[in-house]
Each structure stands twice: as C-alpha cells, then as structure tokens.
Chain A
C-alpha cells in the first residue's frame, strides 16, 4: 500500500472505529486515538525518510478515478512543502490526544473521533492534487473543528463555532465558483494538467478574468490565514476552543490558508497575484503590527497568543508576496515554526488553565517559584516565539525579512517592527505571569509538570531547538519546491507583466 495513502487512511479508519467504540468507556477511546495517531505519525516519519530530497516534483503519487463524469480523480501526492505540513499535522495529533487526556471527560468518544477526522481532513488538504478533491478535504476539515469548538469549548463557544463556520464557508463558496469556472475552461480538475495548459498557453485568461479568479481563491485563503481585516473570527475561535482545538487550529488549520496561497493562488494566477502583491503586503504588515499591538494589551493569555498568531501569519504572507526564493523559503519555514511554537504556547497555557482554571494574566504571578519546570519550558517557548537566535522562529523571520528586503526595503523595515513588538508583548506577559509576588492561589493550584505533560512538551522543545540549529534538514526539500513555485509564477509573469506593472529590478536580481 502506498505510504501516502496510508497516512491519509489511518486517521479516517481511526475515526470510523472510534465511532464504534463503547460510549461507557472513555479510556478505550483515548488509548485508541493515541495509538492510531502515533502509528500515523510513524508512517509519516517513514514518508520523510523515503522522500527523495533531490526532486522538486510530486512524490508518492496515488491517482485513481473517483467520479467519471465530470472526471474527478482521487489524486494525492506530496512535494517538499506539503510533506512537512503533513508531518506537522501527524506530529501534533498525538500531542493533542495527550493534552486532552484528563481535561476532556464529557463525551470523550466523540471528541477523539472528531480529532481523528480533523487530522484526516488536514492531511488531505495538503496532499490533494485535484482541485475538486482539495475542496472536499477543505470543507470536510471544517466540520470536526466546528464540533470541537462548539461542544468542548468555553463559555462563548457556540458564538465562536458558528462564526468560524460561517466565515470559512463564505470564503470557500467563492473558491468553489472559481474552481468550477476553471474546470469549464480547462476541462479538468487535475491541478498539474491545468498548470500544464497554462504554461503551454492552451489556457489563457484575460487580466480581468484572472483577477476575479485570483480574488475568489485568495479571499478563501486569506480568511483562513487569517489576513487582516478578515481575522476577527480567529480570537474568538482560539479562545473558546478546548486546548486541543486551539492547537490544531493555530498550528495546522491556519496553514491551510498560506499553503493554499503558495500552492494554488500563485501558480494559477501569477500576474494577478503580482499586481495585488503591494496591497496584500501592506495588509500583511498592518496585520503584523496590529496583531502585535492588540496582543500587548490583552488581559487574557489565550487571546494574547491568538493575536500573536495574526502577527506571525502576517510574516508568512509577506514572505510569499515578496516573490523571492528567500522570502518563500522563510514563509514555509515560518509556517512550520509557528505550528510548533504557537502550538506549544497553547499547550502550556492550556496546562495552566487546567490547574488554575483561569486564563487572566492578573490571576497569576510568581508561577516560576511554584512550578519551575513549567516556567522554564514556557520561557524557552517564549524565546522561540520572539525569534531568539538558535531557536526556530529566528530562522524563518530572518529569511522572510531578507527576502522582503530584496523586494521592497520599506516593507522589511515595517515588518521588523513586528519582531520588536513581539518581544515586548511576550516578555511582558511572561514577567507578569511567572515573576513577581507568589500568590496564594497560584502556590496551592500550580503543581509542576507530570510525566504525561513532559511527554507532550519535550518533543515540542526538541523541535524548536532542532529547527533553530539545523534548519538545513528541513529547508532543502522546501527550497526545491518553492523554486518550482517561483518558476511557475515567473514563467507566466514574463508573458504578461509587460503591460501593466514592470518587474521590480530587485526581484529580477534576486532570481
């Protein structure tokens, strides 16, 4: 059996079997979810092992006919970017199972079933090579997250869940219209075939057409990223979701948007993308600074981390729309980094919530005395998040800024401001929560990490260090694929860019 198919099918089978497990024994669901998610993780590790790093193209292809008329194929494959995002999803799922071990008691069976379904949907989004299949996974991943937030979330969970669903749905119906339009023009949903037709000139769009199609795709992705000003669902969803939901949402689901931009929006509609690039870059920079400023004044730790996501994802979008190899590499790396670091932050905040039953910063103080190991782990994660050298975010932010500077130096200056601000809000939060006077409520409620929690945080910390120290092991395959994306983008740009927007000289030099 194809390894890629296995990684996709295991969580789906896990979901179906989890549904059949007895409701009366939550432990059986827990162990089943942990077991199947670990097996999936191991399978995806093998995927990395057998991944041929010297190739830029798709690997582990599975291509079967699903529906004959109109022809829709079950076509999945991995490239140098998606393989890491799949690994990120399968890496975080067992972690999510472990952090929910005690905190999810109510309807545990359904919880773990939805978590596995979510994993399947996410993996499918990254692997689909057929636009229709992509859309199917895109929507399917929405349903389990809706239930995760709505059933197991905090007080305003229903509002947050419905808002999340409607925002995403509104964006994705436009994408569906664009996908059908593409099909009617190209006669196929196969992504590679469409790109082939575009590059050979058999399929060409007028600038107006291309702009509308690009916007239809881009808005769907931008809502998911989320790009300022489409971000307002995110703080609600993150804060109200249970810890596992926040982790999956922040670490993997947001990447669906940036992955979509990189993998679909740019190669399909290069000249429209380029024409919009200045506007999108400005929105990304506003997002970076606005997210950081709003994070700074949050009294609620989870909300602070949520707004920091808006800021960090702004870097990713900025890197992509710099149209430079460095910027794209940095953006992809930052997608992975954000997944690890922000995931870890949500995990740690969740652990503190389990102990103290509060997310308000003012309810803490002096935690470093009560729980020194927890504080140490939190500090490392904080430093990673603000981009300290030797930890992962530094590499990604540096690449993004360098790539952006090549494209437009002013953008890089403004974006760099976001790095400084992130240090402000994270360290200020750390200071208020972990130092200062040890409150009585904190002393009696905050035991240090237990064995299960160590099992959750150690892999995360290890990844932060590894990705910060030896980024080469990740960036090689990424670079091959981003180079291909740029190539696809530039080829078409060369044909049409002469009319409206001259190529920036810096960009040409960077290539």
Chain B
C-alpha cells in the first residue's frame, strides 16, 4: 500500500477512464449555454471521443493492475473487462441517438452529459472493491438513468417510466444500503476482501446477520439486473423510455450490476455460498420462466424485448448459481454477447419506430425484409443470437453458462433453462416471421434512409455477435483468466 494514497500517480492512471468521462460530461454542460443549440452533433461527437479515450485509458490502466486509493478501487482483468463493456455499450447507445434525438427534436447536450455520468458510475462499479464505492457508483449510474428514462419530458409514458424507475430504484438502493450497514456493523469493514476474511475466519459474526445482509444486498442487486421477483418495473420502464435509453438500460447498468453482484457474492459472501445459492437458483428459474412466458404474449416490441431481457438475466443467474470461476467467466462472456445482440435489436427498433415512436408493434415489422433487406438481415442476426442459434455469440454464451451449471451439478436448472430457451425461440421467431414472411406495411415503407452513424450502430454489434459466435476463444480466454476474484 502506498504511503500517500491520494497523490499516487498510479492511482490516477487506474482511475483515468472515470476522470475522462466526468470531465467530458462537465465540459458538455459548460458548453451547452455557449454553443448554438442546433449544433447538436457536437455533443454526440465529443461523447464518442470521450468514450473511445476512456476505452484506451481502461486498457492502459490494465497495464498498471492493482488496488487504487487504499484498496477502494481495484484494477484487474475483471474490472477492465466490465469497464470496456460498459464503455462499448455507451458508444453503441450514442451512435443511433444522433438521428433519434433529431427526429424527436430533443435537446442533445444534457442527454449526452447524463449518459456519460451514468457510464462513469458503471465504470466505477466495475472497478469497485469496497461497499461504499460500489454504492456511490450505483447511485451515480442510477440517478443519471432515472433522468434519461424520462428524457422526452412531453411524453406521458416516458414520465411514467422515469417515475416508476426512480421510486422502485430508490427502494432497491435502500435495501442495498441496509445490507452494507449491517455488514459494517458485523464485520467492522467495508472492504470486500476484509469482509471475506472476517466471515470465513475464526470468530465469524452471527451467520444470521451476515445472511440477512446478503439477502438485503441480493434484493437491491436483483432489482438492478431485473431478476425475478424484482423485475416488475422493467417492462414499463423499457417500453416507456426513449428507445436508445431502453437499449442502454438493458445492457450497461445491467452488466455493471452483475459485475458487483459477482464481486460481492463471489468474494465477501463466498464463504456462506451454500446459504445464498438457493436464492439465486430460484431467482434464475423464476426470471427465465416469467420472462419467456410473458414475452410470448406481448405485441409491443420494446415490451417483448424487456421481458426477454428479464429472461436473459435469468440465464446469467444460472451461471451465478454455479458459484465457480467457470461460472464467472460464463457471466462475463454472456454479458458481452448479450450487450451486442440486445443493443443491436433495440437500435433497429429505434430506427423503425419513427417520429414520436409510433411504430412499436410487432406487426409494424411486416415486410421489412423486402423494403429494407439490410436492416432485416442485421435484426435477424441479433434475433438468431437471442434465440441461441450456433455461430452467434448468444449461442456460445448459453453454452458456457449451462456448461458451468452442469459442472456444478445443477442438472435440473440446466434442463429447465434449456427448455426455456426453446420456448423463447417462439417469440423471436414471430419477429422473423413478420419481417420475412409478410407483406410490407406502413412502418417498413416509411422508414427514412440510413445515416452512416446508424449503419455503424447496426454493423458494429452484428460484427460483435458473429465474432463472439465464430471465434469465442479470444474473449473467453480473457474472461477465464480474469474470473478469479479472490485476491
């Protein structure tokens, strides 16, 4: 541990991605009154540059691995993986927002500033090694997301979404904070490694209190990843929020929340794993089943994707239930694949939905393949990946998850999960049916031409999905090397 932690230059390097994002977010807010409002593209471009710089910084920070600020943050492979993931999701959110914001005639500066702050929060979550820092990251990320969900302030649904998200989210954070307080009271520390040592060591605190703390944190985190039985908010929020924000919410905050989920439960609470494993088991099964069966009934695409994202949270919980390093690596791989395919699918929805997001029904996708063969082909890749067809990232993600689960002898969870994924095929196929087997309707015919930024927003995740599906080894090797969280 360095003698003067605050001014250790290495610490600053390890914190560089967050510094860049925060500085750029602040700069955008300062620029807003100075620049002409119509210069909308400036903010988007600046944000993209900041995110790209932050990715480079995250990669650079990885060459200086270790704890920062007296062990409050830690830069390791795991943190770097999730940092790059949430930053990448940020880029994929901003690319389709150019035309989206223009079409909705929304202001751009706050949107981008809030997005950058939210991502900074997630990036902190990815690298946090201390319950208070985790909480701070969670709050920075969440508060910015609450506002983003209601960004179209004249839209009733967006307002409803934001309010719901805010109220329920605050409760969930409250639960989490109770858990943190209990742990501090019982163990006298908020550092995860120290907590682990106390929980596992001789003279461990009363297990009921630790278990209670773990369950309270579980409630808070299950809410953030929209896992059952704390998923109720997700469909309303994803449907009501502006589509690029829905895409962002379904990937970025979720990935960061899973990162701290793993960090806390695989280090601090690993010694009492037998106690919390049934919770995760049940939550995984419930999320998969509720998500998939409810998605079968939806007619609104955003709502359907919301339920599908609940189901996918369930798949990830299966890997958590495995409680092994292979399981951790599977979570990391799956979240990367999921980010690509889900953000891509939402991008297509935002492209098609038109002004005031009129076209959101599954029927509006009718005949898209005839009018817009490129877009339809891209969406097909994302959907096939969500189904889990081989040669896509989604397939390998599921494969690694269920492989990890079987290695931990979760045979029934695996069988039920795989059957669930067969059920899920049905509602994704409905979209494919619409696009390819039906005659074109209004939405497909009235779609505007593609901008280069938008094409990039489709092609990048499609490449990611196929890359993870054909050459999964590269990402999986990295995930496998970074999966041991106990230092």
Stretch of B271-279, B443-451, B470-478 that contacts chain A: B470-478
Which A residues touch B418, using CB under 8 A?
Answer: 173-174, 176-177
Are B436's CB and A174's CB within 8 A?
no
Q: How far is the CA of A166 from the CA of B477 in the complex (A)?
A: 33
Interface string of B434-476 (1 = CB under 8 A from A): 0011000000000000000000000000000000000111001
Q: How far is the CA of A426 from the CA of B426 in the complex (A)?
A: 37
Stretch of B86-94, B309-317, B398-406 that contacts chain A: B398-406
Which A residues touch B403, using CB under 8 A?
Answer: 70, 180, 183-184
Interface string of A52-89 (1 = CB under 8 A from B): 00000000000000011110000000000000000000
Which A residues touch B473, using CB under 8 A?
Answer: 67-69
Q: How far is the CA of A136 from the CA of B391 in the complex (A)?
A: 7
Are A165's CB and B425's CB within 8 A?
yes
Which B residues touch A147, using CB under 8 A?
Answer: 436
- B436 interface neighbour in A135, A150, A177, A180, Cβ under 8 Å: A150
- B390 interface neighbour in A70, A139, A146, Cβ under 8 Å: A139
Q: How far is the CA of A157 from the CA of B473 in the complex (A)?
A: 39
Which B residues touch A166, using CB under 8 A?
Answer: 422, 425-426, 429
Are B480's CB and A69's CB within 8 A?
yes
Which B residues touch A140, using CB under 8 A?
Answer: 389-391
Are B437's CB and A176's CB within 8 A?
no
Given A69-B476, A165-B429, A170-B422, answer yes or no on A135-B390 (Cβ-Cβ < 8 Å): yes
Name the interface residues of B387-414: CB closer than 8 Å to any CB of A: 387, 389-391, 395, 399, 402-403, 406-407, 411, 414
Q: How far is the CA of A141 from the CA of B414 in the complex (A)?
A: 24
Q: How far is the CA of A69 from the CA of B475 in the complex (A)?
A: 11
Check if A162 is an interface residue, CB within 8 A of chain B.
Answer: yes
The smallest C-beta distance from B333 to any residue of chain A, in angstroms, reads: 11
Which A residues touch B406, using CB under 8 A?
Answer: 177, 180-181, 184
Are B436's CB and A69's CB within 8 A?
no
Q: How far is the CA of A334 from the CA of B228 in the complex (A)?
A: 51
Are B399's CB and A180's CB within 8 A?
yes
Are A143's CB and B402's CB within 8 A?
no
Check if A142 is an interface residue, CB within 8 A of chain B.
Answer: yes
Which A residues touch B414, using CB under 8 A?
Answer: 177, 180
B370, B418, B471 pick with most chain A CB within 10 angstroms: B418
Check if B292 is an interface residue, CB within 8 A of chain A.
Answer: no
The smallest C-beta distance from B51 to any residue of chain A, in angstroms, reads: 30
Which A residues touch B399, using CB under 8 A?
Answer: 176, 180
Which B residues touch A252, using CB under 8 A?
Answer: none
Which B residues touch A23, using CB under 8 A?
Answer: 373
Interface string of A442-456 (1 = CB under 8 A from B): 000000000000000
Check if A313 is an interface residue, CB within 8 A of chain B.
Answer: no
Are A177's CB and B384's CB within 8 A?
no
Q: How far is the CA of A99 from the CA of B437 in the complex (A)?
A: 22
Check if B415 is an interface residue, CB within 8 A of chain A.
Answer: yes
A23, A68, A139, A142 pick with most chain B CB within 10 angstroms: A139
Closest B residue to A181 using CB positions: B406
Closest A residue to B387 using CB positions: A169
Check if A151 is an interface residue, CB within 8 A of chain B.
Answer: yes
A67, A147, A161, A169 pick with most chain B CB within 10 angstroms: A169
- B389 interface neighbour in A67, A139, A151, Cβ under 8 Å: A139
Check if B419 is an interface residue, CB within 8 A of chain A.
Answer: yes
Closest A residue to B400 using CB positions: A70
Check if B421 is an interface residue, CB within 8 A of chain A.
Answer: yes
Check if A158 is an interface residue, CB within 8 A of chain B.
Answer: yes
The smallest C-beta distance from A432 to any residue of chain B, in angstroms, reads: 34
- A184 interface neighbour in B407, B419, B425, Cβ under 8 Å: B407
Q: How far is the CA of A142 from the CA of B432 in the complex (A)?
A: 14
Name the interface residues of B363-391: CB closer than 8 Å to any CB of A: 370, 373, 384, 387, 389-391
Interface string of A133-157 (1 = CB under 8 A from B): 0011001101100110011000001
Which B residues touch A135, using CB under 8 A?
Answer: 390
Which A residues touch B425, using CB under 8 A?
Answer: 165-166, 169
Q: How many A-B residue pairs have CB under 8 A?
A: 78
Q: How far is the CA of A161 from the CA of B436 in the complex (A)?
A: 12
Are B402's CB and A161's CB within 8 A?
no
The smallest C-beta distance from A128 to any residue of chain B, in angstroms, reads: 12
Are B476's CB and A150's CB within 8 A?
no
Q: How far is the CA of A173 from the CA of B432 in the complex (A)?
A: 20
Which B residues touch A176, using CB under 8 A?
Answer: 399, 402, 418
Which B residues touch A143, using CB under 8 A?
Answer: 384, 389
Q: How far is the CA of A143 from the CA of B402 in the complex (A)?
A: 23
Q: How far is the CA of A488 from the CA of B472 in the complex (A)?
A: 34
Name the interface residues of A21-68: CB closer than 8 Å to any CB of B: 23, 67-68
B387, B390, B426, B432 pick with most chain A CB within 10 angstroms: B390
Given A139-B389, A143-B384, A177-B402, answer yes or no on A161-B415 (Cβ-Cβ < 8 Å): no
The smallest C-beta distance from A114 to any residue of chain B, in angstroms, reads: 11
Which B residues touch A169, using CB under 8 A?
Answer: 387, 422, 425
Check if B433 is an interface residue, CB within 8 A of chain A.
Answer: yes
Q: How far is the CA of A23 from the CA of B371 in the complex (A)?
A: 13
Q: How far is the CA of A23 from the CA of B436 in the complex (A)?
A: 16
Q: How far is the CA of A136 from the CA of B384 in the complex (A)?
A: 13
Are B384's CB and A162's CB within 8 A?
no
Which A residues touch B477, using CB under 8 A?
Answer: 68-69
Interface string of A295-336 (1 = CB under 8 A from B): 000000000000000000000000000000000000000000
Given A173-B422, A174-B418, answer yes or no on A162-B390 (Cβ-Cβ < 8 Å): no
Which B residues touch A68, using CB under 8 A?
Answer: 473, 477
Are B415's CB and A158's CB within 8 A?
no
Closest A residue to B469 using CB positions: A136
Interface string of A11-23 (1 = CB under 8 A from B): 0000000000001
Are A151's CB and B437's CB within 8 A?
yes
The smallest C-beta distance from B203 to any residue of chain A, in angstroms, reads: 38
The smallest C-beta distance from B44 to any residue of chain A, in angstroms, reads: 32
- B415 interface neighbour in A150, A165, A174, A183, Cβ under 8 Å: A174
- A173 interface neighbour in B390, B407, B421, B426, Cβ under 8 Å: B421
Name the interface residues of A195-228: CB closer than 8 Å to any CB of B: none
Given A150-B433, A150-B436, A180-B399, answer yes or no on A67-B390 (Cβ-Cβ < 8 Å): no
Closest B residue to A157 using CB positions: B437
The smallest C-beta distance from A188 to any residue of chain B, in angstroms, reads: 13
Are B437's CB and A158's CB within 8 A?
yes
Q: How far is the CA of A136 from the CA of B425 in the complex (A)?
A: 16
Interface string of B43-71 (1 = CB under 8 A from A): 00000000000000000000000000000
Closest A residue to B396 using CB positions: A67
Interface string of A374-387 (1 = CB under 8 A from B): 00000000000000
Which B residues touch A162, using CB under 8 A?
Answer: 426, 429, 433
27 contacts across the A-B interface (CB closer than 8 A)? A23-B373, A67-B472, A67-B473, A139-B395, A142-B389, A146-B429, A147-B436, A151-B437, A158-B433, A158-B437, A161-B437, A165-B425, A166-B429, A169-B422, A169-B425, A170-B419, A174-B415, A174-B419, A177-B406, A177-B414, A177-B415, A177-B418, A180-B403, A181-B411, A183-B403, A184-B403, A184-B407
Question: Which 5 pairs across A and B sit closest by C-beta, in order of nearness?
Answer: A173-B418, A136-B390, A170-B422, A67-B473, A150-B437
